[in-house]
Structure 1
Amino acid sequence: MASSREKEALARVLAHEGDYSNHPDDPGGATMKGVTQRVYDAYRKSKGLGTRSVRLITNAELYDIYDRQYWDAVKGDDLPAGIDYVLFDGAVNSGPKQSIIWLQRALGPLYKGRVDGTMGFTTIAAVNAVNDQDALIDRICDQRLAFMRRLKTWPTFGRGWSARVAEVRAIGKAWATSDEPQVANFYDGASAKAFVEDAEAAPMTAPADVATGAGVSGGVVAGTLQSLQDQLLPFSYASEWIGRIIVILTIVSALLAIGGLGYRWYANRKAKRLAEAVGTP
């Protein structure tokens, strides 16, 4: 680990992560100090070593994984104080790509590139052009919380995640203003992984299509009956009976069509907000 701030940032990330956990609702599965079994297996294989329980991870392996797969992935050494830590903690919790997406979205008009979760020169240049680092940290953390609230695991881990992000926000701002950052604390549930794969499903528009189609079809039938009523006009009883059916069909068809269009608008609006929160197209 090259920089002293990386070491200090890692110490706070590890405080948030705790030791071994294997919560049945945690999508990360078995995890030791923030490193999942899947990540540890891949790391060991890349070194030509056999797999083993993540409980047995050594400090050297732990530091190497954090340095290469998280700190370097968000280009921590190229980021301003405070921003580096905020991105680092988010990367450990939700993956580097998702953490970088929060940053790119938080940069607003300063960032001219694609929101793709890649920390390239364009992203770094935009970060360095920011005058108010505290405000940027607020926007990144707001993006992170909005993302987490759209996860199916939010009811289980939301309280812990909220406490963790609150501390990340405070620590990041302290570093950004050259103040001494507070120590980090462990909160129950805060170490659970928050992955985009666990986002809520977007509402289906099929029911809206069915309702709208039924409404249109009902209108066609009502029109056909209207024509029949005109032909049966001399037979007042039959004409009156068909007229009542026409009125009922017209009302039901209108309600179905309006309801279908209304639900489609609601579904599209919710899907758009979901996509904005989780950073997907």
Structure 2
Amino acid sequence: MEANFQRSLAVTLQYEGLWSDNPADPGGATMKGVTIGTYRRIHPNATKADLRAISDAELASIYRQGFWNPISGDSLASGVDLATFDASVNSGVGRGKQWLAASLGGSNAETVKRICAKRLSFMQGLKIWKNFGKGWAKRVAAIEAKGVAWATAMPGNEAVVKKTLENEASKAASKAKAQKGAGGVIAGGGAGSTQAPVEHFQHTGSLIVFLVIVAAIVGFMIWRSHINKTRAAAYAAEAAAQ
């Protein structure tokens, strides 16, 4: 919705950082998420000093024209706009719009959760996930929790919003516990349940393949547990902020 642009931008800028000029960064010098290349498309002769001194008004204009307007942020429901905007800034407008289109249906809160799930799934497939995964997971979880809070907020229903967030935190924590437990059972052989398969693979010479599969399943379950633990923490923090 139109009134949400400034507060959506404020949320996203918490993750985009301030000034950065790392030679290893292919984007080059960056100020609050705006790269020198992007800035020079507007000001061809701009220097790094010009970018570093960018005004709040121009920064907002770049984000509105480059991300908010392309996703039709003014027309999106509260919470859905934040989830789509932050995803577009982080992963591109095309992907943000794609995840939005694939997530519509049901309540706005459910749409927010589906957008964030699709976004996280995409990120997990990137080669640099192992380097940035934990930070990305925290960002997406925080956006999901705040998006759900905005989607369920109405005048006078603050207690309902807080309860909704607390319930989401509890559900995510339960999932995390169950997934961690399942990973442990698989890793431990489920009280001997894998003994027969192990003996079979020993006879066929495929024990290594079997153990690799088990390790992959255990790793997946433990990682899903971590993701849901992160979501639980984000929902709990958002509930506390209400």
Unaligned ranges ≥5, structure 1: 108-129, 183-281
Partner amino acid for 1:18? Answer: G
Partner amino acid for 2:83? Answer: V
Deviation (angstroms), 1:60: 2.1
Counterpart CA distance in 2 for 1:95 and 1:168 is: 16
Could you give the per-residue CA deviations for residues 39-90 of structure 1, whole angstroms, max 9, x where no partner exists? 1111224xxxx22213232222201101111111110001111001111111
**Structure 1 residues 23 and 148: CA distance shift in structure 2, 3 A:** farther
Choose which of 155, 159, 173 in structure 1 pairs with 2:130: 155
Counterpart CA distance in 2 for 1:156 and 1:24 is: 18
Report what 1:135 is aligned to: 110
Report what 1:59 is aligned to: 56
Pairing 1:43–2:42 present: yes
Report what 2:226 is aligned to: none
Report what 1:18 is aligned to: 17
Matches within 5 A, 1:81-100: 81-100=78-97
Q: How many residue pairs end up in the alignment?
A: 155
Q: Contact (CA 8 Å) 1:43, 1:65: kept in 2 or not?
A: no
Q: Contact (CA 8 Å) 1:141, 1:165: kept in 2 or not?
A: yes
Deviation (angstroms), 1:23: 4.8
Deviation (angstroms), 1:3: 3.6
Report what 1:165 is aligned to: 140
Residues 26-35 or 164-173, more deviating: 26-35
Report what 2:120 is aligned to: 145
Unaligned ranges ≥5, structure 2: 163-242
Residues 55-64 or 8-17, more deviating: 55-64
Instruction: Give the SS at the match of 2:43.
Output: helix
Deviation (angstroms), 1:29: 3.5
Instruction: Give the SS at the match of 2:121.
Output: helix
Counterpart CA distance in 2 for 1:68 and 1:85 is: 16
Instruction: Give the SS at the match of 2:66.
Output: helix
Deviation (angstroms), 1:32: 1.0
**Structure 1 residues 141 and 35: CA distance shift in structure 2, 3 A:** same
Q: Contact (CA 8 Å) 1:137, 1:172: kept in 2 or not?
A: yes
Report what 2:150 is aligned to: 175
Q: Give percent identity, aligned residues only.
A: 42
**Structure 1 residues 72 and 101: CA distance shift in structure 2, 3 A:** same
What TM-score does the superposition give when structure 1 sets the normalisation length? Answer: 0.51
Counterpart CA distance in 1 for 2:114 and 2:92 is: 18
Q: Contact (CA 8 Å) 2:2, 2:73: kept in 1 or not?
A: no
What TM-score does the superposition give when structure 2 sets the normalisation length? Answer: 0.59
Matches within 5 A, 1:1-281: 3-23=2-22, 26-45=25-44, 50-53=45-48, 54-107=51-104, 130-178=105-153
**Higher alpha-carbon Rg:** 1
Counterpart CA distance in 2 for 1:139 and 1:27 is: 31
**Structure 1 residues 11 and 3: CA distance shift in structure 2, 3 A:** same
Counterpart CA distance in 2 for 1:15 and 1:31 is: 14
Counterpart CA distance in 2 for 1:29 and 1:146 is: 27
Counterpart CA distance in 2 for 1:98 and 1:24 is: 27
Could you give the per-residue CA deviations for residues 108-159 of structure 1, whole angstroms, max 9, x where no partner exists? xxxxxxxxxxxxxxxxxxxxxx331121111111110111111122111111
CA RMSD of aligned residues (A): 2.3
Counterpart CA distance in 2 for 1:98 and 1:28 is: 19
Q: Contact (CA 8 Å) 1:25, 1:153: kept in 2 or not?
A: no
Instruction: Give the SS at the match of 1:8.
Output: helix
**Structure 1 residues 166 and 26: CA distance shift in structure 2, 3 A:** farther
**Structure 1 residues 171 and 26: CA distance shift in structure 2, 3 A:** farther
Instruction: Give the SS at the match of 2:41.
Output: helix
**Structure 1 residues 95 and 89: CA distance shift in structure 2, 3 A:** same
